[in-house]
Chain A
Amino acid sequence: MSPDKQDVLYGTLGLMVLKTLEALGPLHGYRIARRIEQISGNELALNQGTLYPALLKLEQAAWIASAWKESESGRRVKVYALTKAGRQHLRTEEAAWQHATGIVARFFKIQEDVS
């Protein structure tokens, strides 16, 4: 792995999973991992193993639901899907995230202005 890759920001992995599921519909673990890596332009060093505890936590909170299904390659895989509660949670989190990054962005902007 190249050293310039970023570690996944703590706590954002769940959000990425939810967003992925919202965009692509039900997926199994490997597809979710690949999708996150692709979206980030392979700039995120996702330790794919860490995805599973994150999925479990999301499921425990009932934001996603899982079911065993057949994959395109004919394997039995656990497919995760966004629930109604998950969709709602994603929206509030998204708004909060935008808000927070907006504030931070403004700070960076001010610094540029000063310099």
Chain B
Amino acid sequence: VTRLRVLLSRVRGMVRARDLDRDLRQEIAGHLDEATEDYLRQGLCPAEARRAALRNFGGVAQAEEAYRDARAFVWLDHLRRDVRHGLRALRHSAGFSLVVLAVLAIGTGAIISVFVLLNTIVLQPLPFPQSDRLVVVKHSAPGLNVDEVGLSSGLYFHYSQHAQSLESLGVYTENVLNLRVPGAGTERVHVTFAGAALFQVLRARPALGRLFTEEDGRPGFMNMRWTIPILLAHDFWVGRLGRDPDVVGRILTINENPRRVIGVLPEEFAFPDRHTQIWMLVEPPRVTANFARVFNWSAVARLHPGATPASAQAELRHILPQIEGVYTDATPERMAEVGLSPVVVPLKSAVIGDVAHLLWTLFGGMALLLVIACANAAGLFVVRAEHRRREIAVRQALGAHSHHVARMFFTEALVLTTAASALGLLLAQGLLRGVVAFSPVELPRTVEIALDGVAVTLAAGLAVLMAAFYGALSVRRQGWPVTVSLLSVGHWATGKRAGPWGRDPFIVVQVALALTLMAGSALMVKTYRNLSQSELGFSADRVLTVEFGLPSRKAAQHARIYHDVVERVRRLPGVERASAASFVPLTASEDVFPVQGGATPVPFKFFLPGYFETMATPILDGESFAAGERVTAPYPVLVSAALARRLYPGDRAVGKAVRRLNEDGSIVELNAVPVPAFTIVGVVGDIGETTLRRDPTEIVYVPVIEPRVEQSITPTNMTLAIRTHVEPLALSAAVRKAIEAVDPGLSVGRVRSMDSIVRSARARETFVGALLLLAAAVSLFLGVVGIYGSVAHVVTSRTREIGIRMALGARRADVVRMVVTGSMWAVLAGAVLGVAVALAGTGMLSALLFGVEPRDPVIFLAVTGVLLSAAIAAALLAGWRAARVAPLLAMRSDC
């Protein structure tokens, strides 16, 4: 109890230090006065009485000191004093402090921001309970010529029933549907059809109402009088329904059908991603279930405790053959042909995708930048420590111990690095805001991104580590135990008594790492240029794209409606040309209209006459379907040049017949009559329909004309392509109105300029490239400044020597050579090391590169050249200044 009381009163003593100091002084003064009076009474004269009183008291200052020590915490008092002293010392050399502060703040800010991204997106578990047990189930199907497929309805029932390692299995598919809003027309909504088990798998909890249950699936989807339940995303509920508290039970009209809202998901819930606004209950139909006709189900499962993705995958592979005979199409031949093989991967890696790689790359880059910044500041600390030898000598002469000097250096370093880390945190905060708001890359999990305790801990840790390093470095420059003699400082100290920890090692590190960063960023810049200059196959200038959809009940009139829309849009002021197609370049997903054309399935793209004219895509051969042009061949289609090359190598494709086939290779029939073959009437120049990186797309272009060319597929999603005279987005409202005027049932989706689509296709490279380029620029700058500083430092410390040499007849050129060559060794060593590190490290980038090798010799030579010439220029500049030293002045100088 007593101890606690003492502790409390000490805390009080610390807080009220000033008042208590005054009290103490008053008390001591009173004491001395009384003692003096006593002595006066004994007959001493006033002066002697006072002296006697003071003598008996025995040292006022010591008493006060001892009193203060007892009052509060001694070490805290010392720390406060040291910090105050450190601040004063740093203010004295404001230049040094500011530079170190800026350099270290940049280094820490960069690493913290990328670390926060990495931590939230890649390292933290997904925001679902026990998310490490969530897996994605899919298949590789080499027989289908596609990368991956999901589950067919038959596979879903098969796995749900037999897989022991899966606790539960949920399926879903994503779609975009039309939501009719009373009094506000129709809008497109992202709907995820979700099996009843999906939310159990994820262990989600509703914010309002309830989630789907197995019972919800019971009434049966064939029952026409049953209202299918839906769930709402939080954002949708807030944004579109004004946070309606009575939303549960409300009916929304989706694709002309009533759907009943039974619940709202919490704000942080997002599955499969943020796009989903509505989840609609769905159940794979048992009656029509099949083994391998359509693989339209994505699946997520919760593993039983103890099961791993690998063991689950092994089990699924084991039980898959037992499906034989369960479904009519599960024949041994068909199974062998498809070559299906289950793949089970953690949900997290599926969600993150290759962003993990991108972020690790950036993290590596920023770590290099931090090391460069640290090395740069280290050079400054070394110089400062040397400049303070005189001060240290004076301190020692006055009785400072080695550990006093050491404590002083460490505290000063700590004050600086703490301030730098705090600044770095602020910088990171800004960077993160920017990344989240303006990032060209669609990063997953951005809502979770924030500076958190981890970031602050990292900043604090960095501050302490850097302080320890710089403190040790400064102390080392004085030698240990610190014995700096006043005599050894100043006058005739010559040469650069550079010990093993002079500036040179830091120059080596800076040059080496700057070269690595520069090589990496140069590779990314080259990639970016390659992507920008790769043949687009169309012109993206002033093109507005507007996605719109057709309600399925109007499918029969689709051709007329599309033509009407295009006609109306063409007549709008500011429009040069307009047409439409199922999608515009760079936006196609892999599995749009999979059909057989020859051996490998190729996508189909529907287009309206005038489309290629609008996009400025060249027609290499045959007809072009320009607006108003008539085509007489039966069932005419166009093909891409890439497809023409594959199907008819060395032959003209125009005039040939081509057929869409069923997945099993049979001829497509409509009402038991074979659908007639298409005639290829033209060849279209190659376009990257999916990405900029792939080879040109093999694709069939089907015109939407009368009579119908493709009879069994009706395109219900179209994208208008409008070339304008004005800023494209300025027309979006007018286009929207035009679409509505044709049919209010049409819904409008994303409105984007073609330019922005092209930009986002290069987003990832731009993002990494820009950040690395920034890091490289900063590192080059730091490196050059570091070299300049190093040479300049050599010059100052050898001023007298230079003076003597010049007095003895050395020419300026000799002096410059002498000074510069001294530093050049470090630069050269750094360059060699840098090339080695870069050669080893740029392999990390190879997945991001396009059209350039990770060890491109030209880039390596160029980067090394730039860095070396910058280094030499910096050294020469500093050396040239040295050569202007006047001999007499130099010999008299005292430093």
Q: Which residues of A contact B71 (CB under 8 A)?
A: 56
Would you list which residues of chain A between 68 and 103 have a CB under 8 Å from chain B? 71, 73, 75-78
Determine if A6 is an interface residue (Cβ-Cβ < 8 Å): no
- CB pair A52–B5 under 8 Å, yes or no, is no
Determine if A48 is an interface residue (Cβ-Cβ < 8 Å): yes
Say yes or no: A50-B31 contact (C-beta < 8 A), given A60-B5, A61-B6, A78-B23: no
Would you list which residues of chain B between 61 and 87 have a CB under 8 Å from chain A? 62-63, 66-67, 69-71
Would you list which residues of chain B between 339 and 354 have a CB under 8 Å from chain A? none
Alpha-carbon distance A61/B2, docked complex (angstroms): 6
- CB pair B9–A49 under 8 Å, yes or no, is no
Stretch at the interface among B52-60, B228-236, B543-551, B829-837: B52-60
A102 to chain B minimum Cβ distance, whole angstroms, is: 26
- CB pair B58–A49 under 8 Å, yes or no, is yes
A59 to chain B minimum Cβ distance, whole angstroms, is: 8
B273 to chain A minimum Cβ distance, whole angstroms, is: 62
- CB pair A53–B66 under 8 Å, yes or no, is yes
A69 to chain B minimum Cβ distance, whole angstroms, is: 11
Determine if A107 is an interface residue (Cβ-Cβ < 8 Å): no
- CB pair A47–B58 under 8 Å, yes or no, is yes
Partner pick for B67 among A56, A61, A75, A77, CB 8 A cutoff? A56
Q: Which residues of B contact A50 (CB under 8 A)?
A: 58, 63, 66
Partner pick for A49 among B33, B37, B38, B59, CB 8 A cutoff? B59
- CB pair B57–A47 under 8 Å, yes or no, is yes
Say yes or no: A49-B5 contact (C-beta < 8 A), given A56-B71, A77-B30, A78-B27: no
Partner pick for B30 among A53, A57, A61, A75, CB 8 A cutoff? A75
Q: Which residues of B contact A53 (CB under 8 A)?
A: 63, 66-67, 69-70
Determine if B10 is an interface residue (Cβ-Cβ < 8 Å): yes
Determine if B28 is an interface residue (Cβ-Cβ < 8 Å): yes
| Size of A's binding interface in residues, CB under 8 A | 23
- CB pair B57–A73 under 8 Å, yes or no, is no
Considering residues B9, B26, B31, B59, which has the most beta carbons from chain A within 10 angstroms of its beta carbon? Answer: B31
For B1-43 the 0/1 string (1 means CB < 8 A from A) is: 0100110011000000000000110111011011101100000
- CB pair A56–B70 under 8 Å, yes or no, is yes
Determine if A105 is an interface residue (Cβ-Cβ < 8 Å): no
Q: Which residues of B contact A47 (CB under 8 A)?
A: 57-59
A12 to chain B minimum Cβ distance, whole angstroms, is: 17
Partner pick for B6 among A29, A48, A60, A73, CB 8 A cutoff? A60
Partner pick for B56 among A28, A48, A62, A71, CB 8 A cutoff? A48
A107 to chain B minimum Cβ distance, whole angstroms, is: 31
| Size of B's binding interface in residues, CB under 8 A | 29
- CB pair A30–B70 under 8 Å, yes or no, is no
Say yes or no: A62-B5 contact (C-beta < 8 A), given A48-B56, A49-B59, A53-B66: yes
- CB pair A30–B60 under 8 Å, yes or no, is no
A54 to chain B minimum Cβ distance, whole angstroms, is: 9
A19 to chain B minimum Cβ distance, whole angstroms, is: 19
Say yes or no: A52-B27 contact (C-beta < 8 A), given A47-B58, A73-B34: yes
Alpha-carbon distance A84/B38, docked complex (angstroms): 32
Q: Which residues of B contact A76 (CB under 8 A)?
A: 26, 30
Q: Which residues of B contact A48 (CB under 8 A)?
A: 31, 35, 56-58
CB nearest neighbor in A for B5: A62
For B585-602 the 0/1 string (1 means CB < 8 A from A) is: 000000000000000000
A76 to chain B minimum Cβ distance, whole angstroms, is: 7
Considering residues A50, A56, A71, which has the most beta carbons from chain B within 10 angstroms of its beta carbon? Answer: A56
Q: Which residues of B contact A56 (CB under 8 A)?
A: 67, 70-71
Partner pick for B63 among A52, A62, A71, A75, CB 8 A cutoff? A52
Q: Which residues of A contact B6 (CB under 8 A)?
A: 57, 60-61
Q: Which residues of A contact B37 (CB under 8 A)?
A: 73
- CB pair B69–A60 under 8 Å, yes or no, is no
Would you list which residues of chain B between 276 and 333 have a CB under 8 Å from chain A? none
Q: Which residues of A contact B33 (CB under 8 A)?
A: 75
- CB pair A30–B5 under 8 Å, yes or no, is no
Q: Which residues of B contact A75 (CB under 8 A)?
A: 30, 33-34
- CB pair A52–B34 under 8 Å, yes or no, is no
- CB pair A30–B10 under 8 Å, yes or no, is no
Q: Which residues of B contact A29 (CB under 8 A)?
A: 27, 30-31
A18 to chain B minimum Cβ distance, whole angstroms, is: 14
Alpha-carbon distance A50/B24, docked complex (angstroms): 13
- CB pair B5–A61 under 8 Å, yes or no, is yes
A98 to chain B minimum Cβ distance, whole angstroms, is: 22
Q: Which residues of A contact B31 (CB under 8 A)?
A: 28-30, 33, 48
- CB pair A52–B24 under 8 Å, yes or no, is yes
- CB pair B60–A49 under 8 Å, yes or no, is yes
Alpha-carbon distance A50/B9, docked complex (angstroms): 20
Alpha-carbon distance A97/B33, docked complex (angstroms): 35
Alpha-carbon distance A3/B761, docked complex (angstroms): 94
For A29-70 the 0/1 string (1 means CB < 8 A from B) is: 110011000000000000111101100110111100000000
Q: Which residues of B contact A33 (CB under 8 A)?
A: 31
Q: Which residues of A contact B57 (CB under 8 A)?
A: 47-49
Q: Which residues of A contact B58 (CB under 8 A)?
A: 47-50
Would you list which residues of chain B between 786 and 816 have a CB under 8 Å from chain A? none
Q: Which residues of B contact A59 (CB under 8 A)?
A: 9
- CB pair A30–B34 under 8 Å, yes or no, is yes
- CB pair B67–A52 under 8 Å, yes or no, is yes
Considering residues A49, A56, A60, A78, which has the most beta carbons from chain B within 10 angstroms of its beta carbon? Answer: A49
Alpha-carbon distance A30/B35, docked complex (angstroms): 7
Which 8 residue pairs across A and B have the least CB separation, nearest first?
A49-B63, A47-B58, A60-B9, A53-B66, A30-B34, A30-B31, A60-B6, A53-B70
Q: What are 30 sample pairs from A and B whose C-beta atoms fall under 8 A apart?
A: A28-B31, A29-B27, A29-B31, A30-B34, A30-B35, A34-B38, A48-B31, A48-B35, A48-B56, A48-B57, A48-B58, A49-B59, A49-B60, A49-B66, A50-B63, A52-B24, A52-B63, A52-B67, A53-B66, A59-B9, A60-B6, A61-B5, A62-B2, A62-B5, A71-B30, A73-B34, A73-B37, A75-B34, A77-B30, A78-B27
Further 6 A-B residue pairs, CB within 8 A, beyond A30-B30, A48-B58, A57-B70: A30-B35, A47-B59, A49-B62, A56-B70, A56-B71, A62-B2
